[in-house]
Chain A
Amino acid sequence: MTDPSSMTTGATGTTAPDAGAGADDAVAASGSGKPSSLWGDARKRLVRSPVFMLSLLYLLVVTSMAVAPKLWTRQDPFDCSISLSRQPPTDGHPFGYNLLGCDYYAHAIYGARPSLSIALVATAAVVLIGGTIGLLSGFFGGWLDAILSRITDIFLSLPFLLGALVVLAMVSARNIWTVALALIVLGWTTIARIMRGSVIEARNLDYVQAARALGATNGRIMFRHILPNTIAPVLVYATIMLGSFVAAEATLTYLGVGLQPPAASWGVMINMHQVYFDTDPWLLFFPVGLLVGTVLSFILAGDALRDALDPKLQ
């Protein structure tokens, strides 16, 4: 799959900045912050985009739930009484009670943390691992590229969900780290491909050739000249990935291999109450609403970011 792989990069919808933008990039990264730089322009465009600002606002709200749940509720989500099981929303308990008779609003607030942590841990690791592999593969080419590309092919050929299931069957424990691990093991390939494509494009640019001619070391070329060029597509993809990992946690939990109670993630809340969909739909409505909102915001933010960073679309 060597030939079309650079097209695959395009296929994920994250078009790498062209040569001109790349040069601007390098300038911006070196800190001179000219008003006409790619990032500066992008920022201006983003601030003017209502979709992006709304998404950002929503994500800030959700993040604050994850970081400081006590800001949002004084209830203890684990103070439960079975006699209150599945009581509908009332005064002081806007979301009602869950199956075990715990305050559902508190659960929804506290549920943000595990859901977001998994997505964040997994995305960070995927960017790091996939990015490094893609960078090395694209920059050095030759036999290293051949081997790394084959390895990428192997992981890419495994269906995502099945691979994640196999990894989770391997470790019997179910917590934030193991669920994130499953997502990482299967998720790094796309980033590696995007990175590799961008690096190959950037490697042959004139100013990189010039730097090489001037005797810059490989390390300097990679970090100083090539990396800044490749950040934009990776960033865009990582934003979208955050959203899809939040959804993936819920799906794995639904399949019974994700987080388990007493952990309180949105996925656990959905899974615990999905069977009451007919009778008590609000038990499903709140966690699904929060989840969908978060996934939506990440995707829309990623979209806006891509549009802002891609001068060709202006």
Chain B
Amino acid sequence: MKLAATVAALGMLTAACGGSDSDEGSGGSDGGSAGGDLRIYSSEPAFLVPSAGDDEPSILVIRQLYRGLVKYNQEGAPELDIAESIETEDNQTWTVTLKDGYTFTNGEPVDADAFLRAWNYTGNLANSQNNSYFMGRIAGFEDLQKEGVKKNATFSGLKKVDDLTFTIELTQPFSGFESVLGYSGFFPMAQECIDDFDACNKTPIGNGPYKIEGEWENNVQIKLVRNEDYAGEDTGKPDSLTYRIFDDVDAAYAAFEGGELDVMYTVPPNKIGELESTVGDRLLKEPSSSFTYLGLPNYDDRFQDPDLRKALSMAIDRQAIIDAIFDGSLSPATGFVAPNFDGAREGICEACEYDLDAAKELYESTDGLEGPVELWANGGAGHEEWLQAVGDGWKSAFGIDYKLKVDVSDFGQYLEIADNQEFTGPYRLGWGPDYPVMETYLAPLYTTGAPSNNSGYANDEFDQLIKDGDSADSLEDAIPFYQQAEDILVEDMPVIPMWWGLTTVVWSENVAEMVHNPITDVDYGQISMN
């Protein structure tokens, strides 16, 4: 019944990271055969249209219905999918050529127009699509986001060359742009879909290995069947995918235990302890990329000393809290970038280690804090318990009293407080990656004045390093710059990293081989069944 958590999940890109020991779906029949009906746990998606679906349940369906320019391999690197080639000289102007022969399920071709119309539609303020944010790097975005923009206005940075070729111009060079294109918000859309959004949402018109059967039965189920006209190589394995929709994960888990479901990508924390005896090895645990942190109001005089911020962080026993309250279902943060992202360094953040004596010593060298410290979280979303544990830790370490400020239970209102920098003490917030480049954990949260920089942190050196990284020749060249930027954060500790999520996938005996992608999570279409 953690409803606010569902709200919080809106606006988060699904990207569970972690290598999987299962091999890539190569179409072979080594572990099982094609066919069967795979019954999948899902919560109610928000939208089944690429331009609007930005929450995990939506994306897990959209990825079986649609395909984009690139997909991710098992290392998390982009690989061409529908694109024949993606080329650039300066990381600012990109030329995309498409493979021929792909069609939507309604017969429309998947050509340059299919992509351009989708992106123009998404980026235009008049359509208020949830994924418009992700179009922000394309030149002309500002103009499309002005009030009173015309419905047919388009990006100045998008140009069609011929039926299968188009160019993209970015506002600034960005070496990681190819990775960005694998996000489902960049998938193509049929003209029919844009003409009647609501119909297309209910009965999607896709270009992927699966197509919808009937229509989306809201709150009940979504049934997909293999798309026999799909031109790609990675055709679906199960005959059909049935996403059974649940509002409450506990109820869904009861259904799984009762043999009603084949795959569950979320397990209620209290059930994690008993998994070994119940599902045995039909289980996959990988750190995910969802980041929880305790923000510190850098705009408040009391929190301006980096040493104090570090001392606070060192007094938190993350592992003990995770074990006690989350049954070990999270992994403690040791840096600012998700551990499975290219360029992340394990243990980089020394002040994220629990060290009570060092914390006390460091705290003594600062002016300290006057109690009671106010700890903020949006109420009713299950954050009260761990915040209390953090407060209890500080209380015993530094002797400062704390007070929970959890009386704002409306998430929108809580976010407004964040926007207006009105927090009066440490506050909990989360972050999910926009694209699989480590920069996604740095630039949006800590560059001066960035939209999600709610701590008010400002450091010119950091800003410059991000810029240098973005305009580096390639992603490989960019990473050292990003790492230097992360080093600055480790020194300054603008926020206290708490932990990373842990994806726990369990499956039934009907599943012969689980297929998991580090970026896009479980690939239902590639699972083979007994």
Asked if the two chains touch in their complex, CB atoms less than 8 Å apart, one says yes
Query: How many Å lie between the Cα of A172 and that of B380 in the bound state?
Result: 11
In the complex, are the beta carbons of B410 and A82 less than 8 A apart? no
Query: How many Å lie between the Cα of A80 and that of B389 in the bound state?
Result: 8
Query: How many Å lie between the Cα of A169 and that of B412 in the bound state?
Result: 12
Query: How many Å lie between the Cα of A169 and that of B408 in the bound state?
Result: 10
In the complex, are the beta carbons of B270 and A275 less than 8 A apart? yes
Contact of A174 among B270, B320, B407 (CB under 8 A): B407
A256 surroundings in chain B (CB, below 8 A):
1-4, 380-381, 409
Assuming the A-B contacts A85-B325, A257-B380, are A272 and B407 also in contact, with contact meaning beta carbons closer than 8 angstroms in the complex? no
In the complex, are the beta carbons of B269 and A80 less than 8 A apart? no
A173 contacts B by Cβ under 8 Å: yes
User: Which residue on B lies nearest to A262, using beta carbons?
Assistant: B404
Assuming the A-B contacts A101-B324, A256-B1, A272-B385, are A174 and B392 also in contact, with contact meaning beta carbons closer than 8 angstroms in the complex? no
B388 surroundings in chain A (CB, below 8 A):
80, 100, 261-262
User: Which residue on A lies nearest to B392, using beta carbons?
Assistant: A80
Assuming the A-B contacts A101-B324, A256-B380, A279-B270, are A172 and B413 also in contact, with contact meaning beta carbons closer than 8 angstroms in the complex? yes
A314 contacts B by Cβ under 8 Å: no
A131, chain B: closest CB distance, angstroms: 32
Query: How many Å lie between the Cα of A262 and that of B402 in the bound state?
Result: 11
B11 contacts A by Cβ under 8 Å: no
A116 contacts B by Cβ under 8 Å: no
Assuming the A-B contacts A173-B407, A275-B250, A279-B274, are A85 and B379 also in contact, with contact meaning beta carbons closer than 8 angstroms in the complex? no
Query: How many Å lie between the Cα of A85 and that of B385 in the bound state?
Result: 11
B157, chain A: closest CB distance, angstroms: 42
A276 surroundings in chain B (CB, below 8 A):
270
Say what secondary structure dominates the interface of chain B.
helix
B409, chain A: closest CB distance, angstroms: 6
Query: How many Å lie between the Cα of A282 and that of B155 in the bound state?
Result: 62
Question: Restricting to A149-177, which residues have a CB under 8 Å from any CB of B?
Answer: 169, 172-175
B393 contacts A by Cβ under 8 Å: yes
Contact of A254 among B1, B379, B392, B413 (CB under 8 A): B1
Interface string of A220-263 (1 = CB under 8 A from B): 00000000000000000000000000000000001111001110
Interface string of A268-290 (1 = CB under 8 A from B): 00001001101100000000000
Question: Restricting to B163-187, which residues have a CB under 8 Å from any CB of A?
Answer: none
In the complex, are the beta carbons of B270 and A260 less than 8 A apart? no
Query: How many Å lie between the Cα of A275 and that of B321 in the bound state?
Result: 17
Query: How many Å lie between the Cα of A27 and that of B270 in the bound state?
Result: 62
B384 contacts A by Cβ under 8 Å: yes
In the complex, are the beta carbons of B325 and A100 less than 8 A apart? yes
Query: How many Å lie between the Cα of A82 and that of B325 in the bound state?
Result: 9
B274 surroundings in chain A (CB, below 8 A):
278-279
In the complex, are the beta carbons of A82 and B380 less than 8 A apart? no
Contact of A275 among B269, B320, B406 (CB under 8 A): B269
Which bracket fits the contact residues of B?
20 to 34
User: Which residue on A lies nearest to B389, using beta carbons?
Assistant: A82
Contact of A260 among B269, B324, B325, B379 (CB under 8 A): B379
Query: How many Å lie between the Cα of A262 and that of B396 in the bound state?
Result: 17
In the complex, are the beta carbons of A99 and B409 less than 8 A apart? no
B273 contacts A by Cβ under 8 Å: yes
In the complex, are the beta carbons of A82 and B393 less than 8 A apart? yes
A83 contacts B by Cβ under 8 Å: yes
A174 surroundings in chain B (CB, below 8 A):
379-380, 406-407, 409
In the complex, are the beta carbons of B324 and A99 less than 8 A apart? yes
In the complex, are the beta carbons of B392 and A81 less than 8 A apart? yes
In the complex, are the beta carbons of B2 and A260 less than 8 A apart? no
A83 surroundings in chain B (CB, below 8 A):
320, 324
User: Which residue on A lies nearest to B408, using beta carbons?
Assistant: A172
A93, chain B: closest CB distance, angstroms: 16
B389 surroundings in chain A (CB, below 8 A):
80, 82, 100
User: Which residue on B lies nearest to A258, using beta carbons?
Assistant: B380
Interface string of A56-96 (1 = CB under 8 A from B): 00000000000000000000000011110110000000000
Contact of A261 among B2, B321, B392, B404 (CB under 8 A): B404
Contact of A172 among B270, B321, B381, B410 (CB under 8 A): B410
B268 contacts A by Cβ under 8 Å: yes
Query: How many Å lie between the Cα of A177 and that of B1 in the bound state?
Result: 23
B342 contacts A by Cβ under 8 Å: no
Interface string of B357-398 (1 = CB under 8 A from A): 000000000000000000000011100110011001100100
B384 surroundings in chain A (CB, below 8 A):
260-262
B317 contacts A by Cβ under 8 Å: yes
B3 surroundings in chain A (CB, below 8 A):
256
Query: How many Å lie between the Cα of A101 and that of B389 in the bound state?
Result: 9
User: Which residue on B lies nearest to A81, using beta carbons?
Assistant: B392
B385 surroundings in chain A (CB, below 8 A):
99-100, 261, 272
In the complex, are the beta carbons of B270 and A278 less than 8 A apart? yes
B406 surroundings in chain A (CB, below 8 A):
174, 260-261
Assuming the A-B contacts A80-B388, A99-B325, A100-B385, are A255 and B1 also in contact, with contact meaning beta carbons closer than 8 angstroms in the complex? yes
Query: Can you list 6 A-B pairs with a CB-CB distance of less than 8 A?
Result: A80-B392, A81-B392, A174-B406, A256-B3, A261-B388, A275-B270
Add 5 more A-B contacts to A172-B410, A174-B409, A256-B1 (CB < 8 A).
A82-B389, A100-B324, A260-B384, A261-B385, A275-B250
7 closest Cβ contacts across the A-B interface?
Answer: A85-B324, A261-B384, A275-B270, A256-B380, A173-B407, A82-B389, A172-B410
- A residues with CB within 8 A of B: 80-83, 85-86, 99-101, 169, 172-175, 254-257, 260-262, 272, 275-276, 278-279
